[in-house]
A and B are shown apart, each in its own frame.
Chain A
Amino acid sequence: MDIIKVEHLCKEFSYYKKETGLQGSLKNLFHREILTKEAVRNVSFAVEKGEIVGLLGPNGAGKTTTLKMLSGILFPTSGNAVIDGFIPWERKNEFKRRFSIVMGQKNQLWWDLPASDSFYLNKCIYDIDDAAYRKTVEELSELLDVRELMNVQVRRLSLGERMKMEILAALIHRPQILFLDELTIGLDIISQQKIRDFLQYYNEQTKTTVILTSHYMRDIEALCRRAVIISHGQLVYDGELSKINHLMGDKKLLTLKGIGEIPAEKLAAFGRVREKKGAETVLEVPKDKLRETASAILSTLHVEDFTVTEVPLEESIALIFKKEVDSL
């Protein structure tokens, strides 16, 4: 069952063009040129209940705008979205009780008070009864490992701790759908890891549907089986994360270290040379020719060390973005 269904979603922003300098200001005084920017163009996808979907794309691709439309913060210019039977931008209270959005850049906790006070505020806002509220806070604070921090003012918490509290605050009403926007931005590796683990566990246990955007490929790789990739406001890929490499031509990387330097033209005969640093070379080889190429290399060249790796996912995705730009 699709809990989220997005069809032909579009969003345009209009803004003023401002020329630089004093002359521009004076010109602006009398005439303002209005420009439009298409932030999201004709995006469609669907998400099943309990899925974790990664929303990927370079900066300014329209990820956050999409999430904002799905949470009813923004009105789309055209297109439809239905989430659990609701149209988000109608902003019905009943709908608002079913989801939560956490944005890495925006906070809802009261800065000068302990986080527990902000939780209590959310309890009042979402009208949760005492027993359920207590249980939720207890269980989640245990899982997030913030029990001892409950009575510390938010401004005294570290960035990672604060983010955990933000997540906890967003889960007080046990939403069925969770939108996470750049959660791990600026966090250290350990905090990132912990938040990732928590989300994975939480999703498994509660079958909460999650859409998340992140700059860190690791977040996405660890949490999502499926990715939706947006570039320049357009959907360019929707499918399993593991199939992205396949889409990009199924290549493998051969890293070899020769005994002494091997001339580049000799190497080029086996595949595309991606990188060459002294004795070490990285070759790009089609997957189906891997076996023969490898044995050919071993038999003709003096190789000391030899490894086979996947093309990093980041690279494939970057390629997808690039392809998108080229085709424009």
Chain B
Amino acid sequence: MKPYRCVFRMGIEKSLEYRADFFLSLFSAVFPIIIQTFLWNYLYGNEDAAALFGYTYNEILIYTLLAGLVSKLVQTGLEYQVNEDIKLGGLNKYLVSPVSYGRYQLFSFLGEKAPQLVIMGAVAAGMIAFSVAVLGLELSPMRVLIFIVSLVLALLLNFFIFYSVALLSFWLTDVNLMFGTVSIVLVVVSGGVFPLDIFGEKLELLVNLLPFGYTTQFSVNIINGRFGWTQIGSGFLCQLFWIGFFGILARCMWKRGLKRFTAVGG
């Protein structure tokens, strides 16, 4: 474990080094929330939207706030680094050293996240307090605890999803632009912008079957009290299943990709 502790620390250093970056990125999380809030204002102000969407005005605002936050919390960014390593041959230096590349990325990712989590945690506490005081969110300590557990799993799941996406770099060139769009798309299908069950039961079912909802929507539904205990239980099982799934997928991709990488000669 020792080398990975080192990697973890390096991750922390990196995120401190690029702090302007972090604050800009945090700041930009505010925009979708603003846009969404205005949209809801409009939709709820004019029609009987509550019945249509199945969320009251306050509920949907709480959702928007928390989802914006959660999707920022689980956001990765390692795909750019992995792509660069594969394309420019930086991978070689990991191949000859006794650390596993996947684990290296994981710990570096967690390290980079750590200082952000401190700040985001404070922001989250503020937002949740705001939701409780102004928007009438009901909160129990138990739910907060389970929410935190689900967040940790969501973070892992999102890591494995994006690590798999990143490994596509073995087969595709020039993927940097695509990554940006992929992450925008995934944020939305994870329910990071608005709850996907507003589109009716069919879409809700689809979301429950797909892995993406478990990176964002699931955690939000725990803290906002929308999910009952059985749903939470099955949700955790799904989350674990998908973590395993993407873990194995990434492993397979890594093996095949590496064969290709060494065949081409980097």
Contacts and interface: CB of A to CB of B under 8 A. Distances in A.
Report if A and B touch in the complex (beta carbons < 8 A).
yes
Interface of A: 18, 21-22, 24-26, 28-29
A22 B19 contact: no
B9 A28 contact: no
B17 interface: yes
B9 A29 contact: no
B258 to A, nearest CB: 22
Contacts of B74: none
B209 interface: no
A18 B17 CA distance: 10
Contacts of B12: 22, 25
Nearest to A111: B173
B266 to A, nearest CB: 14
**In terms of DSSP, what is the predominant structure of the interface of chain B?**
helix
B84 interface: no
Contacts of B9: 22
A29 B13 contact: no
Interface string B7-19: 0010011001101
A20 to B, nearest CB: 9
Residue of B9, B13, B19 most packed against chain A (CB within 10 A): B13
Contacts of A24: 13
A18 B12 CA distance: 15
A29 B16 CA distance: 7
A314 B203 CA distance: 74
14 contacts: A18-B17, A21-B13, A22-B9, A22-B12, A22-B13, A24-B13, A25-B12, A25-B13, A25-B16, A26-B16, A28-B16, A28-B17, A29-B16, A29-B19
A158 to B, nearest CB: 14
Given A18-B17, A25-B17, A28-B17, 12 more contacts: A21-B13, A22-B9, A22-B12, A22-B13, A24-B13, A25-B12, A25-B13, A25-B16, A26-B16, A28-B16, A29-B16, A29-B19
B108 to A, nearest CB: 14
A308 to B, nearest CB: 47
Contacts of B13: 21-22, 24-25
Contacts of B16: 25-26, 28-29
A110 B17 CA distance: 34
Contacts of A22: 9, 12-13
Shortest beta-carbon contacts, A-B, top 7: A25-B13, A25-B16, A22-B9, A29-B16, A22-B13, A22-B12, A25-B17
A223 B231 CA distance: 79
A182 B13 CA distance: 35
A159 to B, nearest CB: 14
Nearest to B174: A112
Contacts of B19: 29
Contacts of A21: 13
Interface string B147-183: 0000000000000000000000000000000000000
B3 to A, nearest CB: 16
A21 B12 CA distance: 10
A25 B9 CA distance: 11
Contacts of A29: 16, 19
B182 to A, nearest CB: 23
A29 B14 CA distance: 11
A33 to B, nearest CB: 15
Contacts of A26: 16
A18 B16 CA distance: 12
B221 to A, nearest CB: 37
A155 B104 CA distance: 31
Nearest to A18: B17
Nearest to A29: B16
Nearest to A112: B173
A21 B17 CA distance: 12
B114 to A, nearest CB: 11
Instruction: Name the residue among B12, B16, B19 with the largest chain A CB count within 10 angstroms.
Output: B16
A244 B239 CA distance: 73
